[in-house]
Every structure is written in C-alpha cells, then in structure tokens.
Amino acid sequence: MSLRHFIDLQDIDAITLRAMIDHAREIKSDRSAGKPRKLLADKKLAMIFEKHSTRTRVSFESGMLELGGHALNLTSSDLQIGRGESIADTARVLSRYVDAIMMRAIDHRSVIELANYATVPIINGLTDLSHPCQIMADLLTFEEHRGSIKGATVAWIGDGNNVANSWITAAEKFDFTLNIACPEDLAPAASYLESAGKHAVLFDNPQDAVKGANAVVTDTWVSMGQDTSETHKKKLRPYQVGTELMALADKDAIFMHCLPAHRGEEVTADVIDGPQSVVWDEAENRLHAQKAVLVWCMQG
C-alpha cells in the first residue's frame, strides 16, 4: 500500500481532507472535555527544520506527546545534512527509527526527495511553495467561527506566497471562492491558480477583493528566505489590511493570519488585535488540525 504523505493539499482528495478537518474537531472537543485520546501511542515523529519556527515546532511536539507518542526536534545544521549527507540517505536512515518525518524546507524539492526515499510518511511543515498544515488549521478555525466554508468567500490580500498557494488549493477542495489581491509580479504560483480554476479569482485591488468576503487573510510581506528589499515592501504597501479595508468586507468577516505578524506592515494593530481577529484560535488550531494529519498519516 502506498504511504500517506501529507506534502501538498493538491495530492489528497477532498473527501479525505474533509474527514481530517472533522476528526480534528472531535480531537479538540475530546481534549477540552478532559478525554485526550492516545491515538499514536509509542509512535515517533522526526522533525527536520531548515528554517525558524515557533508554532509548527511546538504544536507538532505537543501534539505527538498528547497522542501518546514522541517527537524529535532536529535542525538541519545539527544533522549530518548540514555537512553534506544527502536527503536520500537521511530519509533511508530515519525511516528505520521513526514512524513519520515532518520537514520544514527551504526548497519544496527537498520534501519531495525525502518522500522519494523514505519508507514512512512525510509531512510538509512549510516550504517555499506551500504550507498545507497551516491551511488545515485555518479551515478548522473558519468553520468554528462561521460554519461550513463551502460556498463562502475568503479574500487573500498581499504577497502571493506559500500560504496563499495552499489557500488556493483549499478553495478548490472545499468548494469556496478565494479572491486574491496582490501585486502583479507577486502573484501566487500559476500551477495552483490553474488547478483551482473558478475557485481562485485575481483582483486588481484589495478593495474589490474584500467585498462581501467572510474572511480576510494576509501574511508577512517577506517570507523566510525571500527578497527583503525596500522595493519589494513598497509594492505591498497598498495591500495593508487596516480597519477601512475590513469595513468593506462582510460585516461579520473574520481576520486571519498564520503568524508571525508584522504590525504596521501587512496588518494594522487595530485589526489583528481587534474584535474581528481570530488569530489566536488559528494558532491554537495548529495543534488540533495536525493531530488529525498525524493520525491519518501514521494509521494508514
């Protein structure tokens, strides 16, 4: 049987993804009722980080512990990868010790390479191309606050980055519309847009994109490993999410951000710290959504 990798939402069918979100909701409610389930007793997860992380690292480690398993935190500089050992050999060796591997990689191809040689499931903990674990948490958060996302409108404002790419696939898989406003040369990857078809709509300006939106989402203007120049940031200035922009969305719209946030850049403090913001629930939901992902990968 083929391994259940969680590398990109594009690889997994809509019914399976929906089941994972529903399972995440159950796992969360069992935990808050004081009945945590040890669904991954004695299972081990290796976590390889080539980039910084707060939420991904801590939610995966806490999640494995709460499920009865264990997580090993491995930075690429501590591993022999940092001294030139290949990803292929690392995959072969780690597969002999652990039950799954999560990797946050500079280059998406490293995660694919890992999956090509591992004999255990591989989970994408963010790459330059996508951030599927984040979007599972975001879907759970949206539905907790606003009900089924099917048929809803979500507005993505700002850089067409890795998180945007995963939102685009989510729109296709969960049957909602993603309105995207971004500078022309910072648009999301064409392959994601093409695959999503009518579910992803590009707008010339943020004001039109947020009209009627049930959620407004943004992310940092400078992703890890990206262009940090002032020219890049200058292009994104008209895309700041402030109260005036939020006022153009649906009156019950929520504000979402995967964090870390940069107040005064992609979002103003009064929006992210204001009544429409659900960012802390979103961060918490990384824990619950990823538990469902881990169980799906390791119980398959």
Q: Please give the positions annotated as active site.
A: 104, 131, 134, 219, 258, 286
Min dist. Cβ of residue 223 to ligand NVA (A) = 3
Q: Which of 53, 153, 220, 290 is the binder for ligand CP (CB under 6 A)?
A: 53
Q: Which of 259, 262, 281, 284 is the binder for ligand CP (CB under 6 A)?
A: 259
Q: Which of 90, 153, 162, 169 is the binder for ligand NVA (CB under 6 A)?
A: 162
Beta carbons within 10 angstroms of residue 14's beta carbon: 13
110 is an interface residue for ligand NVA by CB under 6 A: no
Min dist. Cβ of residue 258 to ligand NVA (A) = 5
Q: Which does 40 bind (CB under 5 to 8 A by kind): ligand CP, ligand NVA, none?
A: none
Q: Which does 276 bind (CB under 5 to 8 A by kind): ligand CP, ligand NVA, none?
A: none
List the structure tokens of 261.
């946030």
CA dihedral 131, 134, 139, 142 (to 10 degrees): -130
Query: HEC profile for the chain?
Result: CCCCCECCHHHCCHHHHHHHHHHHHHHHHHHHCCCCCCCCCCCEEEEEECCCCCHHHHHHHHHHHHCCCEEEEEECCCCHHHHCCCHHHHHHHHHHHCCEEEEECCCHHHHHHHHHHCCCCEEECCCCCCCHHHHHHHHHHHHHHHCCCCCCEEEEECCCCHHHHHHHHHHHHHCCEEEEECCHHHCCCHHHHHHHHHHEEEECCHHHHHCCCCEEEECCCCCCCCCCCHHHHHHHHHHCECHHHHHHCCCCCEEEECCCCCECCCECHHHHCCCCECHHHHHHHHHHHHHHHHHHHHCC
Q: To which residue do tokens 């719209």 refer?
A: 253
285 is an interface residue for ligand NVA by CB under 6 A: no
258 is an interface residue for ligand CP by CB under 6 A: yes
Contact letters (x/-) for ligand CP, 67-106, by CB under 6 A? ----------------------------------------
Min dist. Cβ of residue 59 to ligand CP (A) = 8
The sheet with strand 215-218 has its strands ordered as 200-203, 177-181, 153-157, 215-218, 254-257
Q: Which of 5, 23, 43, 55 is the binder for ligand CP (CB under 6 A)?
A: 55
Contact letters (x/-) for ligand NVA, 208-227, by CB under 6 A? -----------xx--xx---
Q: Which does 220 bind (CB under 5 to 8 A by kind): ligand NVA, ligand CP, none?
A: ligand NVA
163 is an interface residue for ligand NVA by CB under 6 A: yes
187 is an interface residue for ligand NVA by CB under 6 A: no
Contact letters (x/-) for ligand CP, 128-147, by CB under 6 A? ------x-------------
288 is an interface residue for ligand CP by CB under 6 A: no
Query: Which is closer to ligand NVA, CB of 103 or CB of 163?
Result: 163
133 is an interface residue for ligand NVA by CB under 6 A: no
258 is an interface residue for ligand NVA by CB under 6 A: yes
Which residues would be at the binding site for ligand NVA (CB under 6 A)? 126, 161-163, 219-220, 223-224, 258
